[in-house]
Amino acid sequence: MKVTIAQIDTTNGDLDGNAAKIIAAIDKAKADGSDLVVFPELVTHGYTSQDWFQDADIIAHALEPLDRIVAATAGISVVVGTIRPNPDNDGRRIFNCAAVISDGKLLGLVDKTLLPEYDVFDDPRWFEPNHSARKLFDINGVKVGVVVCEDFWNDKTFWKDRLYKSDPADEVIAMGAELVVSINASPYNKGKIRLRCDMVAHRAKANKVPIVFVNLVGGNDGIIFDGASLIADEEGDIILQAAAFEEFVETVQLDVRKPDARGISGDEVESIHDALVLGIRDYARKNGFQKCVLGLSGGIDSSLVAALACEAIGPENVLCVMMPSPFSSEGSIKDSEELVRNLRCESRIEPISDTFEILLKQMELHKPTKGGESLAAENMQSRLRGVILMAISNAEGRLLLSTGNKSELAVGYCTLYGDTNGGLAVLGDVLKTEVWQIARDINKRAGREVIPNKIIDKKPSAELAPNQFDQDSLPPYELMDPILQLYFEQKQSPAEIVAAGHDPERVYWILNKVEHPANEFKRQQLPPTLIVSKNAIGVGRRRPITHKYRRVNLL
């Protein structure tokens, strides 16, 4: 059997555009002589449509995109993710399902059983589960078992801990499936690509059954789907690995047993870089922005965002604005100008010193003489820059990119309505130490200093007061970031983090900063954040602003 992976990038609610992409992929599969073409989960409507799945009009016309797709399947079989109305009065109004089509006929609809509600997922809010949905389909004489995303992710022989008692994929294998098809909308986070490979290969080898695992690709608000779809044969060998972070429509002969590792991603820093580029590109494109703007300070964060933006939407569409204040070093301007020359993007200088002096006098504030002496005056500079950037965004129709990193945002080292302004927080889930790694990797891949080394090596500073450096207010990032990583990504307790070798006083200081209501208040007003890790700042992390929880060091 020839099988086509149709890893496509869809847009929430673009029913006509999504259907056109699906049909174009079907036509390519036909031209390749394919027997079966497989699409990701919910590609007709967009998996991250959220409460649109509760809209009466969406529910009433749920099957209309499928009618167009069925009509285009003459001579080929198709598995495509979609929705269908729930005919019962009880439960959620729709099912998340896989439509199985062959030669112009709808063979059946397989409803999703296991509905995730962790991290960025909230499936039980929108979908009704169907625990009796298992069935096999005869496609070209092969018994094919179809499962939808989470229904594949509960293998008791692979996972140490499981969230559900049942394993729908195991059920279709027990029914005699000779091929398992899993359609997915599995977002990217660090380590996820390799995890999927291991999971699919393990089940294929353990059950002696080939597996077609197709995943969504594309950015949707802050959630980034990496694709990286794969096919494993009954020996557990990966015989096709789709490219990550791009659309991929390719065909493979299932019984060739020839390993194919074209798309397997190696270095995680490269994967984070590629995810951020895709996230910027799709957020801009899907929201109608052709150009962007950002504040360029001469520091590493804004420099990296500028480089990523140029790669995502083209340097001719990127505007970097330098906004020196009385405390900006001469080197910051010169370093920024060197970066702009390297990137070949547009730039301009909009000084804030005069306006700052006027407002100081009007508000009867003292100009800072050292960091932390006059926070209102320090923050005023950041907010003036925010006003300028938002004015440019409004006047020129540019997407404003926020440049703050996760380390700063976690502990509140940022200015609300200042450097947190923007339409997209590019580095909001990227730790400071990861920012440096990505910047160095960009230079390594380019074989030249795209981001000047003097920027990468510069001692971090907000430059809102004389001789101000981040380490005056924060622990060194090299000590802080491992603690943040254990807390956010592995959900470790303070005691576990201390047991891993971190200083108890530092651990409790950092975590109480993270969880302080004032800092949660800031984070909940951030623009959408591109997510590259588990339990990230953003839609996957839910905390109240108003609370009295405090970590107490009892060690």
- Catalytic annotation, residues: 41, 112, 149
Which tokens go with 104? 């112009």
Contact 363, 404 (CB under 8 A): no
Looking at the DSSP assignment, which residues form a beta bridge with residue 101? 78, 106
Q: How many CA atoms, within 13 angstroms, populate the side-chain half-sphere of residue 248?
A: 26
- Spatial separation of the C-alpha atoms in residues 463 and 299, rounded to whole Å: 10
Counting beta carbons within 10 angstroms of the beta carbon of residue 209, is it exposed (0 to 12), middle (13 to 18) or buried (19 or more)? buried
Which tokens go with 316? 């001719």
Q: How many CA atoms, within 13 angstroms, populate the side-chain half-sphere of residue 356?
A: 27
- CA distances to 309, 340, 524 from 446, rounded to whole Å, are 16, 16, 36
96's enclosing H/E stretch is: strand 94-102
- Spatial separation of the C-alpha atoms in residues 167 and 153, rounded to whole Å: 8
Contact 180, 145 (CB under 8 A): yes
Contact 536, 488 (CB under 8 A): yes
Torsion of CA 63, 65, 67, 70, to 10 degrees: -120
- Report DSSP letters for 443-457, one per residue: HHHHTS-SS-HHHHT
Q: Which of 135, 156, 138, 154 is nearest to 146 (CA)?
A: 135
489's enclosing H/E stretch is: helix 477-489
499 CB contacts (<8 Å, ≥6 apart)?
Answer: none
DSSP-assigned letter for residue 431: -
For residues 503-528, one letter each, b for 16 or more C-beta atoms within 10 angstroms of the residue's C-beta and e for the rest, the string is eeeebbbbbbbbbbeebbebbeebbb
309 by DSSP, 3-state: which?
Answer: helix
19's enclosing H/E stretch is: helix 15-31
Q: Which of 493, 499, 500, 484 is nearest to 551 (CA)?
A: 493
- CA distances to 157, 409, 424, 426 from 294, rounded to whole Å, are 48, 18, 11, 11
Give alpha helix (H) positions in 287-430.
300-313, 330-343, 353-363, 375-396, 406-411
- Spatial separation of the C-alpha atoms in residues 345 and 450, rounded to whole Å: 12
Report phi then psi at 125, rounded to 5: -70, -30
Q: Which of 93, 88, 68 is nearest to 80 (CA)?
A: 68
